[in-house]
Structure 1
């Protein structure tokens, strides 16, 4: 049995991989078990890691830190990459309010920290460490230790307090979300309330009776209004016309128009009359509407088209086809000439079958190519994110610079690459399944190593004289702000429960709780709101840690 002993007890690269694989595989299997109708999913990897560490099974420290940090970086970068294309657009809708809710969670936790210092007599040098552990924010701990050393106080106490409170800080958000769901969430709160926002387009049928448009070309009409629209088909008597920029409109023309949802009323005023027919339902066979006009969805798989504006392709003039809509991930976009195309976009093109074949060859439409994720760009983005996280940022009134760290830098870089990669000709496309796998792999590695590291000293730290007090205070700082703000946000009836979970997880910098939310909600609302509030929330917590030291130590 010596070979078994070598697998688990003799430190080596092989032993590290065996132990981590054991923790992740068993933890994920146990995470599927439901307790009282609730399963913890990937979060159970953390608990099993603590159990393994508590029984004395350990791996080389350098190997442990490498796997933990690599898993965290892989998770946050691919998450940022996933939400990046729609991240900045969210601020035009609800992103600002999502961050405001996160700021309330942070503010309440900070006020409670100051209050506990005065009421219970716990030194702020220890209390700031408790807050960092309760909010699972190691960059904030680093900033607090630098500030403490600047005023001549050792940061060892803060580090120990963080180590004690970190495990319950990780799981406390999950407990808080379970409590909110069991006691306050109704069935209607579990439904995505803003799913319609994913489709930013509207298909309508309009009748030309406005005399000012008769005899004018479509190009002249488009240039004379600020509204954006695409005319997909024109029915003129018994004839079906595929419109071009130079097509002249006549009185009585029936137009099939694709426009933005908020401009439907303007379209009715522009053309004269809206035909009462629902063209936005799911079950429409577009290819049976007209015998000689076909609608086809084509995927952009030609790398040279990444980052090009739709108008630069001249599809209407070169191939005789119109592009009505663009599907990017789950978002339907209006196919305007200024729209910047991304590798993997799905274009709805309309035209005659032979013309569509030629356009399809030009655009690529190679599904096989899209199934191969661009791994090189992922590693390059992670490299740039790590570099970004190490840049010192000096703020007025701060003696020590702050840094975004290995979590903040990669997620911001992922968001930037996802949002602006096409502008720079960077192909960052990954399939939905590949993106989900990379995120779950990274999170599993991070949680397994985190639990293994916390488990070895967990019981010994708890039995320290101040250990139980610190754990109790940290647990209160974790769950109370989350529960209070979560319930208030839920009462507004503005957000679904998945969105609220993402706000709470992002404000607490807690990717493990996000994993639980994803396993529970089965949609992307928690991921989107998490990535929206995480960068600012993490940045503010780093600043707050230094402010607490400056004013209360």
Structure 2
């Protein structure tokens, strides 16, 4: 079996991914590792046989898809949230990154870790895979292949050791915070409904514009005045269907969907 996986890296990829995904669905006291279990499964397979590997293009493609998916799903909520609490949230995030960075530097001096190892550990402690990719890319561009390989290995090892604690530590802290602050998730859902469409039943309706008060006013201004909890999609006017945007102004007789 081991020889088969060595000779077929794509088969190895799907075996590790599927097994890790399955393990990630297993819940213990209401908590699970989720997709992070795929990393732990990969670590286990790599420890069993150092000859296991996948083509570099798979690694790069996976990273691109990961970053793209996160950006696509979080984009609208990110900008909406940034308008309201952008400075506060940005300051908090920068402070936390600087604090953990200082801790990483201190540990490097105290314990004698190499720069590559502690940088990988820093990326892993924040479960930041794109950061590790940036480290590897920097090393690859700054050093020749002979010098870069051991540095990359050090960064990956540091990342692999700290990533599990980045995941498990976050789970433990979240559980502790839930107990300490007695968080009510139902109440939290109600507070963030304007930012995220959570726990909301979607209903599709078609309406005809008959009210003069909403005609000849751009949709962005209507939203400010009435705070519509509605997503406008298309409009039928004079037998033609068009898409609605914030510059759209309704007229009497328009059919809005």
Give 1:70 shift: 1.0
- Structure 1 segment 313-324 matched on structure 2, within 5 A: 315-317=250-252, 320-321=253-254
Q: Given the alignment of the two structures, is residue 198 of structure 1 paired with residue 198 of structure 2, yes or no?
A: no
In structure 2, the CA distance between the partners of 1:78 and 1:138, relative to structure 1 (3 Å rule), is same
Q: 2:121 aligns with which of 133, 136, 141?
A: 133
Point out the structure with max Rg over C-alpha.
1
Q: Is the 8 A contact 2:117 2:157 kept in 1?
A: no
Q: Given the alignment of the two structures, is residue 170 of structure 1 paired with residue 163 of structure 2, yes or no?
A: yes
- C-alpha distance in 2 between matches for 1:75 and 1:192: 26
Q: Deviations over 1:381-419 (max 9, x none)?
A: xxxxxxxxxxxxxxxxxxxxxxxxxxxxxxxxxxxxxxx
Q: Is the 8 A contact 1:145 1:155 kept in 2?
A: yes
- Structure 1 segment 137-286 matched on structure 2, within 5 A: 137-142=131-136, 145=139, 158-186=151-179, 187-188=182-183, 190=185, 191-192=188-189, 194-198=191-195, 242-244=210-212
Q: TM-score, normalised by structure 1?
A: 0.34
Runs of 4+ in 1 over 4 A off after TM superposition: 4-7, 57-61, 142-149, 154-158, 258-261, 296-299, 304-310
The residue that corresponds to 2:48 in the other structure is: 55
Q: TM-score, normalised by structure 2?
A: 0.67
Give 1:245 shift: 5.8
In structure 2, the CA distance between the partners of 1:194 and 1:259, relative to structure 1 (3 Å rule), is farther
Q: Given the alignment of the two structures, is residue 8 of structure 1 paired with residue 21 of structure 2, yes or no?
A: no
Q: Which structure shows the bigger proportion of residues in strand conformation?
A: 1
- C-alpha distance in 1 between matches for 2:196 and 2:175: 32
- C-alpha distance in 2 between matches for 1:143 and 1:59: 22
Q: Give the alignment's Cα RMSD to 1 decimal.
A: 4.3
In structure 2, the CA distance between the partners of 1:101 and 1:155, relative to structure 1 (3 Å rule), is farther
- C-alpha distance in 2 between matches for 1:75 and 1:135: 16
Q: 1:45 aligns with which of 38, 45, 48?
A: 38
Give 1:6 shift: 7.5
- C-alpha distance in 2 between matches for 1:105 and 1:18: 40
Query: Unaligned regions of 5+ residues in structure 2, if any?
Result: 125-130, 198-206, 216-220
Q: Given the alignment of the two structures, is residue 87 of structure 1 paired with residue 20 of structure 2, yes or no?
A: no
Higher relative contact order (CA 8 A, sep 6+): 1
Aligned residues: 226
Query: Unaligned regions of 5+ residues in structure 1, if any?
Result: 201-231, 234-240, 248-257, 268-278, 281-295, 324-346, 348-553
Give 1:157 shift: 6.5
